[in-house]
A and B are shown apart, each in its own frame.
Chain A
Amino acid sequence: MNNSPYSLKPASVQSVMLRVLCALLPGIAAYVWFFGAAILVQIALTSVTALAAEAAMLALRGKPMRQFLTDGSALVTAWLIALTFPSIAPWWLTMLGTLLAIIVAKHLYGGLGQNPFNPAMVAFALMIVAYPQLMSQWPAVGAADFAAQLNAIFGPRQLDAITMATPLDALRTVLRDPEQRAAIAGLLGSHATFGNIGGKGWEWVAVGYLAGGLWLIQQRIITWHMPVAFLATLFAVAGLFTLIDATQFAPPLFHLLTGGAMLGAFFIVTDPVSGATTPKGKLIFAAGVALLTWIIRSFGAYPDGIAFAVLLMNIAAPLIDMYTQPPVFGHKRKEGEPR
């Protein structure tokens, strides 16, 4: 038997996942800075829940516990759930979301590497449909009163002092009110919710994600295709419609720096298991997610559309892959044709 190669590059699923977690740290730091430490509580909550659920499912499925529990994939899902859910959401909400992600979206579909849908996005979509109210209460910038935030998470909840509409929500409210609509440009500059561009505080979190994402590209864990296609498409379509009617549609930079756009571009759309894998397929997949995101943000009933956009494109991923197989070495030109 021939079992070459005999020397292997030091690489493991664990190291890939750990580096993804590391790349999230700058964004998390900014999050804590602007919105308080609640997010850390959520991360702890989702992490413990995810690991417990993972361990239970591995035991049930008779999989080697140590090998899979330490692979880090459950933690990545957990952190993404914590970062996409409101950081002052009640504890049972994030926990429920995490359990659904790990048990249903991951293990019932076959476990690591087999899930057709992004588990974190399944959790987000299910929860926002089930508890739209709770999923829309976001911490206010500067209102980092940790005690109040802890109360919000573990009860009794007194939200008024610490919540605020997110920029996307505020925008939505404004756009729904014909009298205020005309002033969208002025509003973006002045309103307390909207920092300089994408919402007070949120743009710095976005910059944190961007930094982490760029590092992931440098580490060869993700390729440039998805983030670039996602951000460029979002920018282009938002820009186009701003040109058409600036009073109705938010400007492109707003779209890029608000909501989950950066997190989505580098950490969610790029989930390799549930996304497209060929270079061309990645471009199509991410562009599709961006387009759907913009449509849902602009016309849909939910404030941020990335989760639904990702899930919709997950369905299409195998098909996209099938039709974008890159040409194989030596088969690019017609036979015998000179170079």
Chain B
Amino acid sequence: MIARLFKFKGGVKPASHKDESAAAPIRVAPLPSHLIIPLRQSARAMARCLVQPGQTVLKGEMIAAAEGPLCTAVHAPTSGTVRAIAPQPVPHPSGLPAPSVILDPDGQDRWIERQPFDYRSVPAQETRTYLRDCGVVGLGGAGFPSHVKLGPGEKGIETLILNGAECEPWITCDDRLMRERADGILAGASIMRHIAGARRILVGIEDNKPQAIESMRAAVQRLGEADIEVVAVPTRYPAGGEKQLIRVLTGIEIPYGKLGTHFGVQCFNVGSAHAIYRAVAHGEPLVSRVLTLSGNMTHPGNFEVLIGTPIRELLPLAAPRADTDRYLMGGPMMGVALLSLDTPVIKGTNCILAGSPTLFPPPPPEMPCIRCGECAKVCPAELQPFELYWFSRARIFGKAQDYSLFDCIECGCCSYVCPSRIPLVDYFRFAKGEIWAREKEKAAADIARERYELRLAREEREKEEKAAKLAAKTEAGRQKAAAALAEAAKPAATPEEDAKKALIAAALERARAQKEQVHPENVSDLTPEQQAEVAAIEGRRAEIREMAKPHLRQDD
């Protein structure tokens, strides 16, 4: 039993609007006319495409392989033929198209051969690799690869948290999943506990979902494993934020830039746990998910949908009303407006929300900040949003960073309450974007400067070498003369003792070494005595060169 719950500061209580979609069981969406499967399913990395246009694939067949540590594999959501591999619009705030596989289903929905994975008899690392190759990522929205989160980290994972809070209004897919597939979720959690070596599992569910809580508790009984607890947490947005839920259940606060593993705790969406269960126990890679269709719709509900289904083809299932003016992916607090209905469902898509002017009225005109502090009261990151706003607006980005801009989790609470109707989060997103862009620019500038400096150095060196060659030539001429003199009168050539000349000598030596020409040509036909003489001179020179070397180095 956990002794007590902790509180996170701030938070808001928007109208929950869960009833609209929570009542009906999950339905399976029909096969769409085509599927658009972006190769970038996990948060940061693009998978390497394995298929060709025209190729037929089975359901669950890997069509793109994981490359790099943060990448996960991508699979064919149904059997059919690859039509093309081309850039397609994807649900991302940038609105930029991303390379995707376009698949025409054959209507058979034929699976690959599926086999359970015996995770108990292999090292955890192998199971993680298996999950990577099954394309399992977080289904809560961020899409972070699960196999990475299950890695040992610094301290290992003591507490595994299942996130069933689902704090965003309207969304009920996790609620339904917990009501209908609690056993699968817990089986997945149990597998995760095994991989991560965690001691206990805490399932956090907002207390506005009593049926889900009950269903999960019953499933815990059935599973009969120790140290699993289903905890009802107070309903307050953003209780389902990863950091907030961890805080509420364990009291641990994870600062910006740190991971759960630094503190021995890791948090997974209940949907991800279910996907892990399907992958391990049934050999099914992640090719579908449950999502909520709600908002301005006549038949809202939850649907099991193939990854890659164009959103346009889903909408008739819930019948949007005529005055719908936009669609959001995600909830009203953190969702992203869809630029095109041709964008596909991705692994992180938990909800498609139809909006109307009455449901989400356009915000009234922005007023100046009156410093009422309401935003600071509701900020779960405990920031001073109005100060951040001021600095972001004035583009004093350094100050904004001093006031912990990057600790902002973009939950939207501040915008939600601001009486001046300032779109605060928009300013923060803008400021973060600018800072990132500047860092990138700076990095690019650094590289450019480095290159420039390298070029300068090279030119300098070439100049020096030229000078040295020139010096070598004159020196060679002088030596010729000296040699001739030595031949004629055989006087002892005076050793040049000053460092300057030694320097030239050194340059000469370098030049000579380059030419691999140890002696001047004109001495090749000297008599042995003469050669000995020259050798003696050379020997003295070498000594001087040695003496001069430290100077040379300093001068360099």
Flag whether A118 is at the interface (Cβ < 8 A).
no
A2 touches B421 (CB 8 A): no
Using Cβ atoms and an 8 Å threshold, which residues of chain B touch A156? none
Q: In the complex, which residue of chain B has the Cβ closest to the Cβ of A326?
A: B382
Flag whether B130 is at the interface (Cβ < 8 A).
no
| Shortest Cβ distance from residue A23 to the other chain B in the assembled complex, whole angstroms | 15
Using Cβ atoms and an 8 Å threshold, which residues of chain A touch B252? 339
A223 touches B381 (CB 8 A): no
Looking at the complex, which one of A15, A16, A278, A321 makes contact with B370 (CB distance below 8 Å)?
Answer: A16
Flag whether B423 is at the interface (Cβ < 8 A).
yes
B365 touches A6 (CB 8 A): no
Looking at the complex, which one of A7, A11, A12, A331 makes contact with B255 (CB distance below 8 Å)?
Answer: A331
Stretch of B331-339, B532-540, B546-554 lying at the A interface: B331-339
Find the residue from A16, A113, A326, A335 having the highest chain B CB count within 10 A.
A113
Using Cβ atoms and an 8 Å threshold, which residues of chain A touch B369? 113
Taking A278-B384, A329-B380, A330-B258 as contacts, is the C-beta distance between A12 and B416 under 8 angstroms? Answer: no
B253 touches A272 (CB 8 A): no
Taking A9-B12, A16-B419 as contacts, is the C-beta distance between A4 and B365 under 8 angstroms? Answer: no
The 8 A CB mask of B393-432 against A (1 = contact, 0 = none) is 0000000000110010010100111111101011001000
| Shortest Cβ distance from residue A265 to the other chain B in the assembled complex, whole angstroms | 17
Using Cβ atoms and an 8 Å threshold, which residues of chain B touch A68? 367
Using Cβ atoms and an 8 Å threshold, which residues of chain B touch A111? 368
Give the CA-CA distance A38 to B26 in the complex, in Å. 69
Flag whether A5 is at the interface (Cβ < 8 A).
yes
Using Cβ atoms and an 8 Å threshold, which residues of chain B touch A5? 332-334, 412, 415-416, 425
The 8 A CB mask of B238-250 against A (1 = contact, 0 = none) is 0000010001001
Give the CA-CA distance A19 to B8 in the complex, in Å. 29
| Shortest Cβ distance from residue B205 to the other chain A in the assembled complex, whole angstroms | 22
Using Cβ atoms and an 8 Å threshold, which residues of chain A touch B251? 339
Looking at the complex, which one of A1, A12, A114 makes contact with B364 (CB distance below 8 Å)?
Answer: A12
Flag whether B161 is at the interface (Cβ < 8 A).
no
Flag whether A336 is at the interface (Cβ < 8 A).
yes
Give the CA-CA distance A67 to B363 in the complex, in Å. 13
A1 touches B415 (CB 8 A): no
Looking at the complex, which one of A71, A221, A223 makes contact with B367 (CB distance below 8 Å)?
Answer: A71
Taking A5-B415, A113-B368 as contacts, is the C-beta distance between A330 and B373 under 8 angstroms? Answer: no
Looking at the complex, which one of B247, B328, B371, B418 makes contact with A11 (CB distance below 8 Å)?
Answer: B418
A13 touches B333 (CB 8 A): no
Give the CA-CA distance A72 to B548 in the complex, in Å. 85
A8 touches B335 (CB 8 A): no
Give the CA-CA distance A73 to B403 in the complex, in Å. 29
Flag whether B360 is at the interface (Cβ < 8 A).
yes
Using Cβ atoms and an 8 Å threshold, which residues of chain A touch B382? 326-329
B14 touches A330 (CB 8 A): no
Taking A329-B9, A329-B243 as contacts, is the C-beta distance between A9 and B372 under 8 angstroms? Answer: no
| Shortest Cβ distance from residue B240 to the other chain A in the assembled complex, whole angstroms | 15
Interface residues of B in 305-336 (CB under 8 A from A): 328, 330, 332-336
A277 touches B364 (CB 8 A): no
| Shortest Cβ distance from residue B429 to the other chain A in the assembled complex, whole angstroms | 6
Looking at the complex, which one of A11, A326, A328 makes contact with B407 (CB distance below 8 Å)?
Answer: A328
B14 touches A2 (CB 8 A): no
Flag whether B216 is at the interface (Cβ < 8 A).
no
B419 touches A113 (CB 8 A): no
Give the CA-CA distance A111 to B370 in the complex, in Å. 10
Q: In the complex, which residue of chain A has the Cβ closest to the Cβ of B411?
A: A5
A273 touches B370 (CB 8 A): yes
B416 touches A9 (CB 8 A): yes
Using Cβ atoms and an 8 Å threshold, which residues of chain A touch B9? 329
A272 touches B333 (CB 8 A): no
| Shortest Cβ distance from residue B375 to the other chain A in the assembled complex, whole angstroms | 10
The 8 A CB mask of B421-458 against A (1 = contact, 0 = none) is 10101100100000000000000000000000000000
Looking at the complex, which one of B370, B384, B386, B407 makes contact with A329 (CB distance below 8 Å)?
Answer: B407
Flag whether B284 is at the interface (Cβ < 8 A).
no
Taking A71-B367, A328-B381, A329-B9 as contacts, is the C-beta distance between A3 and B337 under 8 angstroms? Answer: yes
Using Cβ atoms and an 8 Å threshold, which residues of chain A touch B423? 3
A6 touches B355 (CB 8 A): yes
Flag whether A112 is at the interface (Cβ < 8 A).
yes
B332 touches A272 (CB 8 A): no
B367 touches A6 (CB 8 A): no
Using Cβ atoms and an 8 Å threshold, which residues of chain B touch A328? 255, 381-383, 404, 407
Flag whether A64 is at the interface (Cβ < 8 A).
yes
Give the CA-CA distance A67 to B368 in the complex, in Å. 11
Taking A112-B370, A328-B383 as contacts, is the C-beta distance between A7 and B14 under 8 angstroms? Answer: yes
A277 touches B370 (CB 8 A): no
Looking at the complex, which one of B335, B384, B386, B403 makes contact with A6 (CB distance below 8 Å)?
Answer: B335
| Shortest Cβ distance from residue B481 to the other chain A in the assembled complex, whole angstroms | 74
| Shortest Cβ distance from residue B236 to the other chain A in the assembled complex, whole angstroms | 14
Give the CA-CA distance A268 to B421 in the complex, in Å. 24
A12 touches B365 (CB 8 A): no
Taking A112-B367, A272-B371 as contacts, is the C-beta distance between A332 and B337 under 8 angstroms? Answer: no
Flag whether A325 is at the interface (Cβ < 8 A).
yes
The 8 A CB mask of B248-268 against A (1 = contact, 0 = none) is 001111111010001100000
| Shortest Cβ distance from residue A277 to the other chain B in the assembled complex, whole angstroms | 5
| Shortest Cβ distance from residue B189 to the other chain A in the assembled complex, whole angstroms | 24
Give the CA-CA distance A278 to B363 in the complex, in Å. 27
Using Cβ atoms and an 8 Å threshold, which residues of chain B touch A67? 365, 367
Give the CA-CA distance A15 to B417 in the complex, in Å. 12
Interface residues of A in 105-138 (CB under 8 A from B): 111-114
Q: In the complex, which residue of chain B has the Cβ closest to the Cβ of A111?
A: B368
The 8 A CB mask of A1-41 against B (1 = contact, 0 = none) is 11111111101110110000000000000000000000000
Using a CB–CB cutoff of 8 Å, the interface residues on chain A facing chain B are 1-9, 11-13, 15-16, 64, 67-68, 71, 73, 111-114, 220-221, 223, 272-273, 275, 277-278, 321, 325-333, 335-336, 339
| A–B pairs, 7, beta carbons within 8 Å | A4-B332, A5-B334, A12-B421, A112-B368, A326-B382, A328-B404, A339-B253
Question: With contacts A1-B95, A68-B367, A277-B384 known, what are 15 further pairs, Cβ within 8 A?
Answer: A4-B332, A4-B412, A5-B425, A6-B328, A7-B169, A11-B421, A12-B419, A113-B370, A114-B368, A223-B377, A328-B382, A328-B407, A329-B382, A329-B407, A339-B252
